[in-house]
Structure 1
Amino acid sequence: MQSKKTSAAKPAVRVIKKYPNRRLYDTDTSTYITLAEVKQLVMTREPFVVRDAKTNEDLTRSILLQIILEEEAGGAPMFSEAALANLIRFYGHAAQAFMGSYLEKNVQVFTDMQARLAEQSKQFTPETWAQFMATQNPLVQGMMGNYVEQSKSLIDSLQEQMQKQTEQMLGAFGMGGPKR
């Protein structure tokens, strides 16, 4: 019985099949679902994968990008045109892999910070909430300071890695002699 409990505790990945007619079929509920319902799975952190019904190709990333596109086209976009243009400029650039990692880590730090704040706010009574509001700026500044410090660390790491790659590339072409 112990092994059944272990396997039951491990969440199964929900499989959604995408058919050529663009319809999404949730194999867990045996129903067709919308992109909005897939977004809800993301919001509730339910593990899922989207597969092409014919080829079994993983289409999860494509569906997630489609959700982002719909959200951006909606009322309040998250990315400005300048931010999107800068992201596009990284494609094909030597720093493309580093930028993806940098963005992923920064979003995770921000998400973790938001979760900690939400968890702390659950413990607030009206009195502690009043105290929190009175000291909001220092607390928020401290959390943002940690975020900025972690972000700076990631940038420093990115710059260091890019410098090493440049030195290796120049060395391969015989142009990376000692600095004078």
Structure 2
Amino acid sequence: MIKKYPNRRLYDTDTSSYITLTEVKALVMDNELFVVRDAKSNEDLTRSILLQIILEEETAGVPIFTEPVLANIIRFYGHSMQDFMGAYLEKNVQIFMDLQSKMSEQSKGLNPEVWQQFMNVQSPMMQGMMGAYLEQSRHAFTQMQDQMQKNSEQMLAALGLKR
């Protein structure tokens, strides 16, 4: 557990020391589970700390998100599609993480030359992995569409407009 104090300092209760956002990022990178709580109210602040880390990363180096992508994400807030978009993005990020994990697993022990061949987009192995990723992404999108259709049908039925 990490406590956030009013002076904006973060205190790691496991190590009994103050830590920085960089150290919190290291916890994330090491797949360490943690929760950030307000020291006074005990409110869960984990999401806001993670968003703060993303903001710092986005402004410090080469950003992941372009301005149009960020603007489109913002447009989904308060929109009826917000829940669907969140679920779709979450599924796709997980699929991508699984792909990355599989690639790391298969690349263990490869020398730089073989790694270069492995990463070549034209290689059959890379094409297979990307094909699997795209298929899983398509499946996630199809699930989202199906859920939207079911919700629409339920809403129309509730309004007495279903055929």
TM-score under structure 2 length normalisation: 0.91
The 1:137/1:131 distance shift into structure 2, 3 A limit, reads closer
Determine the C-alpha separation between the residues in 2 that align with 1:127 and 1:77.
Answer: 28
CA drift of 1:18 comes to 0.1
When normalised by structure 1's length, the TM-score is: 0.83
Counterpart check, 1:32 vs 2:18: yes
Q: Distance in 2 between matches of 1:160 and 1:55?
A: 41
Equivalent position SS for 1:143:
helix
Count matched residues: 163
- Distance (Å, rounded) in 1 between the aligned partners of 2:112 and 2:56: 39
Evaluate the alpha carbon distance shift between residue 129 and residue 60 of structure 1 in structure 2; reply closer, same or farther with a 3 A threshold.
closer
Partner SS state of residue 93, structure 2: helix
Q: Which letter maps to 1:93?
A: H
In the alignment, which residue of structure 1 is the partner of 2:76?
Answer: 90
Q: Secondary structure at the match of 1:20?
A: coil
Q: Which residue of 2 aligns with 1:169?
A: 155
Tell me which stretches of 4 or more aligned residues in structure 1 moved more than 2 Å. Answer: 123-137
**Larger C-alpha radius of gyration, 1 or 2?**
1
Whether 1:137 and 2:127 are equivalent positions in the alignment is: no
Deviations 1:8-53 (A, max 9, x none): xxxxxxx110000100011111111111110111011111111111
User: Comparing 81-90 with 136-145, which one deviates more in the overlay?
Assistant: 136-145
- For residues 128-150 of structure 1, the C-alpha deviation after alignment (integer angstroms, 9 at most, x for no partner) is 65874789622111111111101
1:67 corresponds to: 53
The answer on 1:156 being equivalent to 2:112 is no
1:19–1:153: structure 2 CA closer, same or farther, 3 Å change rule?
same
Matches within 5 A, 1:38-117: 38-117=24-103
CA RMSD in angstroms comes to 2.0
> For structure 1, which runs of at least 5 residues remain unmatched after alignment?
1-14
- Structure 2 stretches lacking a partner, 5+ long: none
User: How high is the sequence identity, in percent, across the aligned residues?
Assistant: 67
Query: Offset at 1:89?
Result: 1.4
